[in-house]
Amino acid sequence: MYPEQGPVWDWIRDNAEQILPKVGANYKGDGPGAMRKIPQEDIDELHRIFEVSGGLDWFNKIEDFSAQKAKEMGLDIGTGKDSEYFKEVYNTNNQEKHSKQ
Amino acid sequence: MDKSVAVIGGGVAGIETAAELGKLGYKVMLFERDSELGGNVRNWDRLFPSRRPAKEVVENALASLNGGISIYASTSISSIKKENGAFTIHSSDSKQFQAQAVVLTTGFELFPAEKKEEYGYGIFENIITSRELEKMFSDYGKPRMTNGKPPHRVAFIHCVGSRDEKVNRPYCSKVCCITAVKQAIEVKEAIPTAEIFCFYMDLRMFGHGYEQLYKEAQVKGVNFVRGRLSETSEAAEGRVIIKVEDTLASKPMRLTTDMVVLMVGMTPATGTDKILQSLGLKTNEDGFAPVKDVHLASTQMGVEGVFIAGACSGPNNITDSINEARSAALQVHGYLNGE
Amino acid sequence: MKIEGKRNIWKAYQKEIADDDYYYVRSCIRQNFFPGSETTFLRILREVLKKNVYDDQHHTTCTGIAYHCEVVPFETIMTVVGRKFALMKESGFRNFVPSCVTSFGLYTEILDTWEHHPKVEEKIHENLKLATGRNFNVPNNLAHTSDIIFKFREEIAQQAKYKLINKATGKPLKVVDHIGCHYAKMFPAKGVGGAEYPYVLAGMVESWGGEVIDYPERRHCCGFGFRQYMVNANRGYSLSASKKKFESMEPFKPDFIISNCPGCGFFFDRWQYALAEMEGKTYGEDGYGIPSLTYEEVAGLVLGFDPWEMGMQLHQVTVDPLLDKMGIAYNPDDKFKGINKEDLGRPESPKNLRFYK
């Protein structure tokens, strides 16, 4: 999905547990630090903020219209990265429809 | 006659006002903060539309001043108070003068080009103002880069500090377009192989002879591109790279030039707002001095006995400034005779 | 170039930067791609400058990336930010210091909105109370982490072990300074030096012995842009903006790029790799590319911190030639070792971008 990350990223990902603490990250850990695990109660507060402020409604709207568009395009809406519709939107460059030349 | 009139500002408008009042027999006090009279026109080489030397206009004006006129040069006026129908004029070095009428002719200053930071004035070489170009013509007869060589590609940028909300100058400065056309022709005549560009928003060719000058510029090969400058940067040897848009071709352009001339607009002269305040007047929405009625009383102000002429009330050209000056003198005459 | 002209503009754009007691909030991008830089920032503030910094575990993303992709509405993001301000209030701190430049731009935007539209702020107070029961106050001071390092650049210079010079020739290194668009382009008065000729990084480079180079595309955006990066299909636009900058800076032969925005620094690093692989073209010397450093890394190098503890091995454009140029003492064998010196192999070399000697 992100080929520009380069081979160094693959190495970092493969060796995360050993390399991230070396640079001071608290990878998936409790307490403060880079790349820590966010405590569940904070995630819950965030979720409630999204509910109260219209963020969740907006997400649902996006999902609904995406499903409609997927149907129009004859693509499976699916879920997550395996969604046919997502793969199409993510990968297809249709600039010939948008530029002057 | 024992009636005296104070004229605040010794540019062409002030000089003409003083001259006319002098002819009518009044005692005139002409105040000028600079050491010499003549104002902004002194800094110009040749005037549109005929390209006659600016010197002639100043000399002509000065020649008409007669003995009844007292000139107070290097005198800056800080406030004017009206009391019992007469005026006390205070200078910033604490002197006081009395007059029965006042004419405000404080004129304008040029917009400080360094305020348009992205234009690089004062930062990159070979970016000058229209006035600095006039000085080059006066001094050398042609424009000159900082390395002493003549420029072969010159870009004129219209509307610098005019029609620009970002620097709080939404108004048009009236005369910069015709000045740019005139200067473009002058550069082309001085350096026939030079490539000249004028980057404009609209071309304001409102006066007598202006459209003809514009045509002459085109015939001589000046390129007119409708679009604004977004930023300048430096290239090798002090050359200037400009990024502009060509709105008619719908394309951005990047050009390496030898010299960029910024057509800086007119801005109210410093201190005019303080004088207005002391008279109980506010500036108009453009920051200039307000006139009583834009059609019917454009040389009168909201205070009885105070008159106005020239670019003090807004961007103006020499012809109209001189006409207003003569009109204001007549209005003063009427006022002092009980009209 | 008349540097005086620039200095006058820099003088006109000064801002208030708190001098201690900072409430620190992390950056999504900085944490994930250069976590060592955030560690280094805290280390410099606490160990070198002896400042009081609070690193709160309960704060979350500000959702700025999603906001700029229009996936999160303005009211939601304002409430999320209100929560952060509430956490700060509870901690007893009043000086807010974000690590991310986009966040900084966002907080500036939100505070400006609330200043001009107090009713909007009221609504956010209501939302936050309803969702979490929390109350907030706006910070006393808002400054970006690069502003803090800028403020103490002289103190850092005084404790420096190295300077930004070429050890062999003694000449100052030529540095491209890149400021994130969200730092000052929206509210020029909130950035040190304004938007046209920003000074926050130039000041650091000058204090530490380097020379800032001006090149035509200096002000150009790096291209991150959120929307044009998010989907693969649009990414070429993002890449082309960085390419424009690389082409423009190349003739001036920069020794490295310093940026204050987590996204920009990341992209200068990765887009050079992408361009090398796609077009075979590399910038900089000997095919290695121009190293793209974070200002925390530059400060750390100057202070003599170990490059591998700062995470400089995580860059795709290798920093080794720059370390050699500066005469920094480091152990090349430790570059890809783990926290316990274990052998972790090493990243594969790209085809065109030179990564190993």
SS3 readout for chain A: CCHHHCHHHHHHHHCHHHHHHHCCCCCCCCCCCCCCCCCHHHHHHHHHHHHHHCHHHHHHHHHHHHHHHHHHHCCCCCCHHHCHHHHHHHHCCCHHHCCCC
Nearest one of C166, C243, C157 to C203, comparing CA atoms? C157
Nearest one of C102, C101, C67, C96 to C83, comparing CA atoms? C96
Q: Please, which pLDDT band fits residue B237 given cuts at 50, 70 and 90?
A: confident
Average pLDDT over residues B41-57: 95
Strand-pair partners of B255: B242
On the question of pLDDT at B68 being above 90, the answer is no
pLDDT at site A82: 87
Based on the fold, state whether residues C196 and C109 are members of the same structural domain.
no
Residue contact C1–B233, C-beta within 8 A = no
Distances (CA, A) of C58 to B123, C26, C65, C164, C340: 47, 11, 19, 38, 29
- Tell me if A17 is assigned to some domain: yes
Based on the fold, state whether residues B41 and B99 are members of the same structural domain.
yes
Instruction: List, as one string, the DSSP characters of B77-123.
Output: EEEEEEETTEEEEEETTS-EEEESEEEE---EEE--GGGSGGG-TTT
pLDDT at site A96: 80
Chain A: residue whose CA lies nearest to C26: A34
Q: How far apart are CA B246 and CA B226, in angstroms?
A: 6
Between residues C2 and B245, the one the model is more confident about: B245
Residue contact B234–C1, C-beta within 8 A = yes
On the question of pLDDT at B80 being above 80, the answer is yes
pLDDT at site B335: 96
On the question of pLDDT at B1 being above 80, the answer is no
Based on the fold, state whether residues B192 and B280 are members of the same structural domain.
no
C281's tokens: 């073209």
pLDDT at site B98: 96
- Tell me if C8 is assigned to some domain: no
Distances (CA, A) of C148 to A56, A98, C144, C285: 36, 44, 7, 32
Neighbours of C288 (CB within 10 A): 22
| Full residue range of the structural domain in which residue A17 is found | 1-37
| CATH code (residue C321) | 3.40.50.11810
Nearest one of C46, C28, C54 to A35, comparing CA atoms? C28
| CATH code (residue B328) | 3.50.50.60
Based on the fold, state whether residues B180 and B152 are members of the same structural domain.
yes
Residue contact C2–B231, C-beta within 8 A = no
Based on the fold, state whether residues B64 and B168 are members of the same structural domain.
no
Average pLDDT over residues C10-15: 88
Average pLDDT over residues C125-144: 96
Q: Please, which pLDDT band fits residue C209 given cuts at 50, 70 and 90?
A: very high
| CATH code (residue C92) | 1.20.1050.140
pLDDT at site A101: 63
CA angle B185, B190, B193 (to 5 degrees): 90
Provide the Cα torsion C95, C99, C100, C106; round to 10°: -10
Give C90→chain B minimum CA distance, Å.
40
Based on the fold, state whether residues B234 and B120 are members of the same structural domain.
yes
Chain A, chain C: beta-carbon pairs less than 8 Å apart: 155
Based on the fold, state whether residues C231 and C107 are members of the same structural domain.
no
pLDDT at site C1: 82
B116's tokens: 């348009």
Q: Which of A53, A61, A66, A88 to mutate to test the interface with C (most CBs of C within 10 A)?
A: A53
Strand-pair partners of C258: C177, C293
C200's tokens: 């926050």
- Tell me if C54 is assigned to some domain: yes
Residue contact C5–B122, C-beta within 8 A = yes
Nearest to B117 among C4, C196, C218 (CB): C196
Q: Does B167 touch chain C (CB under 8 A)?
A: no
Neighbours of B246 (CB within 10 A): 13
Nearest one of C183, B335, C356, C70 to A8, comparing CA atoms? C356
Last residue of a domain, one of B266, B282, B311: B266
CA angle B300, B164, B271 (to 5 degrees): 45
What is the Rg, in whole angstroms, of the alpha carbon atoms belonging to chain B? 21
Give C107→chain A minimum CA distance, Å.
18
- Tell me if A42 is assigned to some domain: no
Residue C137 and residue C95 in contact, taking contact as beta carbons nearer than 8 Å: no
- Tell me if A89 is assigned to some domain: no
- Tell me if A5 is assigned to some domain: yes
Residue contact C72–A51, C-beta within 8 A = no
- Tell me if A18 is assigned to some domain: yes
**pLDDT tens digits for range A31-73:** 999 999 999 999 999 999 999 999 999 999 999 999 999 999 9
Provide the Cα torsion C60, C62, C68, C69; round to 10°: 20
Distances (CA, A) of B208 to B55, B88, B181, B202, B211: 21, 41, 14, 18, 8
**Percent helix / strand / coil, chain C, rounded to 5:** 50, 10, 40
Give the count of domains, chain C: 2
pLDDT at site C227: 83
Based on the fold, state whether residues C129 and C229 are members of the same structural domain.
no
Average pLDDT over residues B129-152: 96
Neighbours of chain A (3+ CB pairs under 8 A): C
DSSP label of C353: S
Nearest one of C104, C36, C91, C33 to C59, comparing CA atoms? C91
Q: Please, which pLDDT band fits residue C353 given cuts at 50, 70 and 90?
A: very high
Last residue of a domain, one of B236, B266, B296: B266
What is the Rg, in whole angstroms, of the alpha carbon atoms belonging to chain A? 20
Q: How far apart are CA B130 and CA B179, in angstroms?
A: 8
pTM of the model: 0.89
Instruction: Provide the 3-class DSSP secondary structure of residue B198.
Output: strand
**pLDDT tens digits for range B120-130:** 999 999 999 99
Residue B12 and residue B310 in contact, taking contact as beta carbons nearer than 8 Å: yes
What is the Rg, in whole angstroms, of the alpha carbon atoms belonging to chain C? 20
Lowest average pLDDT, out of A87-101, B66-80, B268-282, C8-22, goes to A87-101
**pLDDT tens digits for range B179-236:** 999 999 999 999 999 999 999 999 999 999 999 999 999 999 999 999 999 999 998 7
- Tell me if A23 is assigned to some domain: yes
Instruction: Provide the 3-class DSSP secondary structure of residue B248.
Output: coil
Q: How far apart are CA B48 and CA B216, in angstroms?
A: 13
**pLDDT tens digits for range C104-130:** 999 999 999 999 999 999 999 999 999
Which amino acid, one-letter code, is at C184? A
pLDDT at site A81: 84
Which residues of chain C neighbour A7 with C-beta distances below 8 Å? 316, 347-350, 355
Instruction: Report chain C's mean pLDDT, rounded to a whole number.
Output: 95
Q: At what angle do helices B176-190 and B210-219 cross, to 10 degrees?
A: 40
Give A61→chain C minimum CA distance, Å.
10
In percent, how much of chain C has pLDDT > 90? Answer: 90
Which residues of chain A neighbour C316 with C-beta distances below 8 Å? 5-9
| Full residue range of the structural domain in which residue B232 is found | 113-266
Last residue of a domain, one of C114, C145, C176: C145
Lowest average pLDDT, out of B232-236, C290-294, C335-339, goes to B232-236
Based on the fold, state whether residues B258 and B214 are members of the same structural domain.
yes
Cis peptide before B49 (omega within 30 of 0): yes
Q: List, in sequence order, the alpha helices (H) in chain B.
A: 12-23, 54-63, 130-140, 176-190, 210-219, 272-278, 318-336
Residue B275 and residue B104 in contact, taking contact as beta carbons nearer than 8 Å: yes
Q: List, in sequence order, the alpha helices (H) in C133-234.
A: 145-151, 153-158, 181-184, 200-207, 227-230
| Full residue range of the structural domain in which residue C169 is found | 153-334
Based on the fold, state whether residues C178 and C39 are members of the same structural domain.
no
Instruction: Kindly state the helix (H) or strand (E) to which residue B240 belongs, with its residue range.
Output: strand B240-246
pLDDT at site C246: 97
Based on the fold, state whether residues C140 and C169 are members of the same structural domain.
no
Based on the fold, state whether residues B124 and B249 are members of the same structural domain.
yes
Q: Which of C1, C8, C212 to mutate to test the interface with B (most CBs of B within 10 A)?
A: C1
Residue contact C6–B114, C-beta within 8 A = no
Residue B287 and residue B268 in contact, taking contact as beta carbons nearer than 8 Å: yes
Residue C43 and residue C35 in contact, taking contact as beta carbons nearer than 8 Å: no
Instruction: Kindly state the helix (H) or strand (E) to which residue B224 belongs, with its residue range.
Output: strand B223-226
Q: Does C339 touch chain B (CB under 8 A)?
A: no
Residue C293 and residue C257 in contact, taking contact as beta carbons nearer than 8 Å: yes
In percent, how much of chain B has pLDDT > 70? Answer: 100
- Tell me if A32 is assigned to some domain: yes
Residues 6+ apart with CB under 8 A from B221: B188, B196
Based on the fold, state whether residues C283 and C168 are members of the same structural domain.
yes
Based on the fold, state whether residues C164 and C141 are members of the same structural domain.
no
Per residue in B43-78, is it b (16+ CB within 10 Å) or e — as a string? ebbbbbbeeeebbebbeebbeebeebbebbeebebe
Which residues of chain A neighbour C297 with C-beta distances below 8 Å? none
Give the count of domains, chain B: 2
Q: How far apart are CA C37 and CA C298, in angstroms?
A: 10
Strand-pair partners of B52: B47
Average pLDDT over residues C334-343: 93
**pLDDT tens digits for range C228-277:** 899 898 899 999 999 999 999 999 999 999 999 999 999 999 999 999 99
Based on the fold, state whether residues C177 and C285 are members of the same structural domain.
yes
**pLDDT tens digits for range B314-332:** 999 999 999 999 999 999 9
Q: How far apart are CA C186 and CA C106, in angstroms?
A: 10
**pLDDT tens digits for range B5-47:** 999 999 999 999 999 999 999 999 999 999 999 999 999 999 9
Average pLDDT over residues B125-136: 97
- Tell me if C10 is assigned to some domain: no
Distances (CA, A) of B30 to B16, B94, B326, C242: 11, 17, 15, 61
Q: Please state the ipTM of this predicted complex.
A: 0.92
Q: How far apart are CA B214 and CA B241, in angstroms?
A: 26
Between residues C1 and B35, the one the model is more confident about: B35
Based on the fold, state whether residues C116 and C183 are members of the same structural domain.
no
pLDDT at site B23: 93
Last residue of a domain, one of B266, B283, B307: B266
Based on the fold, state whether residues B256 and B159 are members of the same structural domain.
yes
Residues 6+ apart with CB under 8 A from A75: A84, A85, A88
Question: How many Å separate Cα C50 from the centre of its chain?
Answer: 22
Give A4→chain C minimum CA distance, Å.
5
Residue contact A52–C311, C-beta within 8 A = no
Question: How many Å separate Cα C268 from the centre of its chain?
Answer: 12
